Amino acid sequence: MPERALDRVVRGIRSLSGAALDLVWPPVCPACGAGMAPGCRERLCAECRSELPLISGRACRRCAMPLGPFEEDNGGRYCVDCGNKSLVFRRAACAGLYEGPLAETIKSFKYTPRARCMHLAAYLAELLAASLNRPGCGLEFSEVDVIVPVPAHRSRRRERGFDSTAEIARHLARRLNIPLELRNLVKTCSTRQQMGLARAARLENVRDSFKVRRPRRLRNKVVLLVDDVMTTCATAEECARTLRSADVRETRVAAVARAVEGRTVPSGAAAVGG
C-alpha cells in the first residue's frame, strides 16, 4: 500500500477510535469542566480559549518573565530580577502565564488518567511552538541541535502512568523538526514537591538529583530543555548545570507556562486570548 494511502488509513482509524472514546467519556473542557460536543476538534471551550493568558509582549530573555510597557529590560537582555541571579542558561521562553485556563489545562494533563488526557500533550506543545515562533522571542530555536525534556523520577512516572513533560517534548520536537533525546537526562532520586518552597530551598531540593547517562550524544550541542511550568527557575537551573557538566555547549529553556509567585505581573505584560 502506498505510504500516503497508509497514512490516510491510520488517520481514519484514529478518528474512529477518538469518536468511540467520546461515546464512553463525553468530552469536557479540561480547564473548566464544561461539556463539549462529541467529536469537537477544539481542546478547550470557547470561553476558556478566549481567556488563555498567553504572553505576547516583551519578556525577559533569561527567565521568560513578561515585562510591562514601562519596565526596564536592560537592553533586551534580562529583567531586574535576573540582574541579581547567576543563571547557567541564558535564554528562556514560555507560552503563557500559569494561571486561569492554562494552569487548569496543565493540571488536567498531569493528573487525569492517561486515556483521557494524552491529547492535551499535542495541544500544549502547539501553544509552546507558537510562542517560540512569535516575533520578539529571543530564544532562537533554529539554532537548537536537540530537545531534552526535564525528566520525572521513575516513581513519579509509575504513579501517573506517564511522563507528562516528555510527552509535550515529543510533540514539540515533531512540530519544530528538531531531534528529541529521551531518557538521557534522568532524575536519579525522588525529591519533594517544589510547590511552596522559596528559590533557595528549591535549589537545595533538586541539587545533584539529575544525571546525563550518555554525555557523548549531547557534547558540544545547543540543547532546548523543555518543561511544563517554570516558577523560580531552580529545576531548569539544576538541569542546565548537569548538562553543562556533560560538555553541552549551551542550554536554552522552553516551558508551557511561567508561574509568577511573589511577583506582580506589570500591566500589559500578557495578552489574554488564545
CB-based contact 182:207 (threshold 8 Å): no
Q: Is the full-model pTM beyond 0.85? A: no
Q: Which three cell numbers stand for residue 138?
A: 529571543
Whether 162 shows a pLDDT value over 70: the answer reads yes
**Does 243 or 192 have the greater pLDDT score?**
243
pLDDT greater than 80 at residue 70? no
pLDDT at residue 215 greater than cutoff 60? yes
Instruction: Give CA angle at 141 (137, 145), nearest 5°.
Output: 165
Average pLDDT over residues 165-175: 96
Q: How confident is the model at residue 274 (pLDDT cuts 50, 70, 90)?
A: very low
Instruction: Give residue for cell 531540593.
Output: 205
pLDDT digits (tens, 9 = 90+) for 99-116: 999 999 999 998 876 656
The yes-or-no verdict on residue 167 having pLDDT over 70 is yes
Q: CA-to-CA distance for 274 and 271, rounded, in angstroms? A: 9
CB neighbourhood size of 11 (10 A): 10
Highest mean pLDDT (candidates 69-73, 74-78, 87-91, 196-200): 87-91
Half-sphere exposure of 128 (CA within 13 A, CB side): 38
Judged on CB neighbours under 10 Å (0-12, 13-18, 19+), 20 is exposed
Q: What is the mean pLDDT of residues 64-93?
A: 77
Q: pLDDT at residue 272 above 90?
A: no
Q: Are strands 222-230 and 250-258 parallel, antiparallel or unpaired?
A: parallel
Place of cell 526535564: 150
Residue written as grid cell 500500500: 1
CA dihedral sign, ordered 151, 154, 155, 161: positive
Residue 30 CA to residue 112 CA, distance in Å, equals 9
Mean predicted confidence (pLDDT) in 203-231: 88
How far is the C-alpha of 247 from the C-alpha of 215, rounded, in Å? 7
- Residue 120's Cβ-count burial label (10 Å; 0-12, 13-18, 19+) is buried
**DSSP 8-class letter at 256:** E
Of 16, 15, 35, nearest to 25 by C-alpha is 35
Q: How confident is the model at residue 6 (pLDDT cuts 50, 70, 90)?
A: very low
- Fold of domain 51-272: Rossmann fold (3.40.50)
Amino acid at 133: N
Is the pLDDT confidence value at 205 over 70? no
- Which comes out higher in pLDDT, residue 174 or 56? 174
Packing angle between helix 199-206 and helix 234-245, nearest 10 degrees? Answer: 40
Q: Give me the phi and psi of 73, to 5 degrees please.
A: -115, 15
Give me the residue spans of the domains in the chain.
51-272
